[in-house]
Amino acid sequence: MTDIKETQGLILSNAPHIKTGDSVQKIMWLVVASLVPAAAFGVYTFGLHALVLIAASIISAVAAEALYQALLKKKISVIDGSAVITGLLIGMNVPPTAPAWMVVIGSFFGIIIVKQVFGGLGFNIFNPALGARAFMMASWPVYMTTGWVPFSGSNVLAGGVQNAAGLPQQAFDAITQATPLGALKEGPKILQEMNIGIGQLHDFLFSSSMIKSLFIGNIGGVIGETSALFLLIGGIFLLARRIITWHIPVSFIGTVGILAFAYYSAAGLSCPWMAVLFHLLSGGLMLGAFFMATDMVTSPVSAAGMVIFGVGCGAITFIIRIWGGYPEGVSYSILLMNAATPLIDRFTKPRVFGVK
Amino acid sequence: MFSGFKGGIHPPENKHVAEDKAFTNLPVPQMCYIPLSQHLGAPAKPVVEVGQTVTEGQLIAEAGGFVSANVHSPVPGKVVEIKEINTVNNRQMAVVIEAEGAFSSSAQPRQTDDWEKLAPEEILRRIREAGIVGLGGAAFPAAVKLSPPKDKKIDILIVNGSECEPYLTVDDMLMQTFPKEIIDGTRMLMKVLGVTRAIIGIENNKKKAVQALKKTLASMSIKEDIAVKALRTKYPQGAEKQLIYSLTGKQVPSGGLPMEVGVVVQNVGTIFAAREAVVFSKPLFERYITVSGKMINKPGNYKVRLGTRISDIVEECGGLKGEPAKIVIGGPMCGLSIHSLDIPVVKGTSGILFLSKDEVKTGDFSQCIRCGRCVAACPINLVPCDLGNAVEKNRYDLVEELRPLDCIMCGSCSYSCPSNRPLSHFIKLAQAWVRKQKK
Ligand code: SF4
Ligand code: SF4
């Protein structure tokens, strides 16, 4: 499609005659670049299999897109990098010991069913990577929710989590087998059997040693979510490069923080700030808020819409974490808000200049 | 102070190409091609015949209505033809004059009149007679803008020196070179409008112009309240509605004119020309322009006679460095691309850009990825992506509630779109559809 023609060697087109240097392709590849530090850290901490998973998901996402477009005789657009992002995000969203065939199927599902069937880049309603994640979660829940790498060990950047609250060794071992959010959800049950109160679990999870592990990334979790530090580096890069705006990440993360503060204050925790930090740094919040909720296609177009979207994501995330059936709610919250996006767009049309 | 309007963009300014280049007079062309419709409104009606001899500045076509403008001969010479020619935006009738004989304005010392002794009506009459139109690009007859209906009370004259289009430096140079004349002209127009307040708004990337005007203002002892205000450099700071908002905090109502909030806006170039028209009885037959872009050998700011063809200008500006990819009349955001060098400079021509391939947008457009950049960029708060998608899919039933008529065609949306979508063009189609529907 073009509105440009050439006459006597001169280009004729409508104004404007200049344009921003950011093309779709450039934007997508910059997003890929911004995810590399966190993905590389995941590979570093979880080992070669993590690399196999990421590679398998990227290759199959690209292959799925090319294949689909070739079969339907459409223009093959994998060079735009959007399928690479989807593949990379799928790889980063599975536990480090998941089977490779699973991410291959997941990538095909994400690209073909969630993205291409709706019309391809720009027309899909749901974030393809998150659609794939939900699909894998429903199909292979065991692979998706177990096989965490225990976080009592240490890696080159961070020592193991200390048993700050003085939990019995047996309880400490059991709890650190899961993800931190899993421990928050399942911990009370495990500890009850040992006649230990929830206060001690909180003391452990909301300790400074725990927060440090969460920040640097020495915890159990899916491949790409563990290091808040590296995710923040990528996120700040995207903000600085103006690929994304602050609206979604800040409102998303801010809402989780405010709700955590309110909830733990009401619960009588002496230092709710540590609980707030725990919630902000754990799970896929950084990954989701900076890289998945900000997916342009599936989030609102106006600033006001983005803020509502972010607040909605944050609220749903926190509700699922505390009261829901899953330990973690970031991906479902984003998917739910994806579904609400057309509605949000409708009701957040900016007030036109000069109209009362 | 207001931080300015919402939205907008920061395209590379590229002003350095012609910046600080003092004005050079381009030689008078042998042949002048003077279109009869160089302004908004009805075309002027020719009052000369083929074969007739004309003097420099002689009326050759008179205004064809209230919203119209007189046209004068830029050169002394002979009318050789009255025919249809290609102009920037259309094919239209033009008077072709071959230069010969003596130049009065360059040869004789000009007679000067003190405008302060003239009645406002007389000043206005001279401006109308001289065929002055908005020189910022819109070419709206100045006298019409300066005579608002009696029931509209005007209290501020805003002088537009923002020159927010990339590349263009002609207004900047005008303010640096003639600060006294511009302030004097401002005072003159204040008298016409009967206002006591004027604000000269200039983007803060033109520090020298701001300083020149401020210094001159301080050195003159005048009774009127004239302020020089530096504005944030942001496109489209010079769009009337945005400029008024940035300077006064007032929003011109949708579909309305600046006078509805008590404001009249005139461009610095227009003010300069209006003053010359009144003080020197000089009709508008020449103007200042910027010639720029990577492909011209001598970019700069020039004074040219109207009717000079682009080809003559290329020659006088040292020729081209190579084949330009695009030639644009006006600025790169709102200007028009042309394919022929035979097109003449008219009253509304603020610049001519000879752009290389790497300076212009090229390539196909693709589907919208909903990035929202166009929404963030739109100074009017429209949702350009929705408008573009509706027009592309021929869903004109959806466009009206998206208010395409509020669009000021600034092009910020198209500029920002990573999918290269010609959004403002789509919106123009939507506008045409809505206008047709309303009839
Ligand atoms: S929609 Fe119109 S006013 Fe808004 S940015 Fe585009 S061209 Fe400018
Ligand atoms: S800038 Fe282009 S791609 Fe982005 S939302 Fe607007 S039309 Fe769509």
- Give the per-residue pLDDT at B1: 45
Decide if A343 contacts A308 (C-beta within 8 A): no
What single-letter DSSP state applies at residue B116?
Answer: G
User: In the prediction, which pLDDT does A172 show?
Assistant: 81
Contacts of B420 in chain A (CB under 8 A): 19, 23
What is the nearest CA distance from B396 to chain A, expressed in angstroms?
A: 18
Q: Give contacts of B 298-327 with A, CB under 8 A.
A: 323-327
pLDDT at position B104 is 63
Please state, in angstroms and rounded to a whole number, the distance separating the CA atoms of residues B265 and B159.
Answer: 6
Percent of the residues in chain B that have a pLDDT greater than 70, as a whole number: 97
C-alpha distances out from residue A4 to A1, A128, B86, B428, Å: 9, 33, 20, 16
Cα–Cα distance measured from residue B298 to residue B170, given in angstroms and rounded to the nearest whole number:
15
CB within 8 Å: A18 and B12: yes
> Of the ligands numbered here, which is closest to the C-alpha atom of B374?
2
Contact A17 B333 (CB under 8 A): yes
Q: Region A106-134: what's the mean pLDDT?
A: 95
Domain boundaries, chain B: 109-280, 373-438
| C-alpha A346 to ligand 2 mean position (Å) | 16
The residue extents of the domains of chain A are: 24-145, 161-347
pLDDT band, residue A154 (cuts 50/70/90): low
Residues 419-438 of B with CB under 8 A from A: 419-420, 422, 424-425, 428
| Chain B contact present for A310, CB below 8 A | no
Tens-place pLDDT, residues B148-181: 998 889 999 999 999 999 999 999 999 999 999 9
Asked whether the beta carbons of residue B361 and residue A17 sit closer than 8 angstroms, the reply is yes
Fold of the B109-280 domain: Rossmann fold (3.40.50)
Residues of A in contact with B11 (CB under 8 A): 18, 20
Which residue has better confidence, B69 or A179? B69
- Looking at residue A204, its pLDDT comes to 84
Residue A5 contacts B, CB cutoff 8 Å: no
Interface test with B, best of A1, A18, A29, A351 (most B CBs within 10 A): A18
Does pLDDT of B108 surpass 60?
A: no
Res. A112: pLDDT tops 60: yes
**Residue A22 touches partner B, C-beta closer than 8 Å:** yes
Q: How many CB pairs under 8 A join A and B?
A: 172
- Interchain contact, A16 vs B362, CB within 8 Å: no
Please give the ipTM for the structure prediction: 0.89
The shortest CB-CB distance from B339 to any of A8, A23, A351 is to A8
CB contacts of A298 in chain B (<8 Å) are 370
- Look up residue A208 and give its two tokens: 């400074």
Q: For residue A180, what pLDDT is reported?
A: 85
Would you call the peptide bond into B236 cis, given omega within 30 degrees of 0 as the criterion? Answer: yes
Q: pLDDT tens for residues B297-320?
A: 999 999 999 999 999 999 989 999
The encoded tokens of residue A206 equal: 């909301």
Bridge partners for B96 per DSSP: B33, B81
**CA dihedral angle for residue B61, residue B65, residue B67, residue B69, rounded to 10 degrees:** 10
Position with higher pLDDT, B19 vs A86: A86
Q: What pLDDT, on a 0 to 100 scale, did the predictor assign at position B107?
A: 44
Decide if B380 and A23 are in contact by the 8 Å CB cutoff.
no
Q: Whose CA is nearest to atom 1 of ligand 2?
A: B417
Beta-carbon separation of B370 and A296 below 8 A: yes
Q: What is the mean pLDDT of chain B?
A: 91
Q: Is the dihedral of CA A124, A127, A129, A132 positive or negative?
A: negative
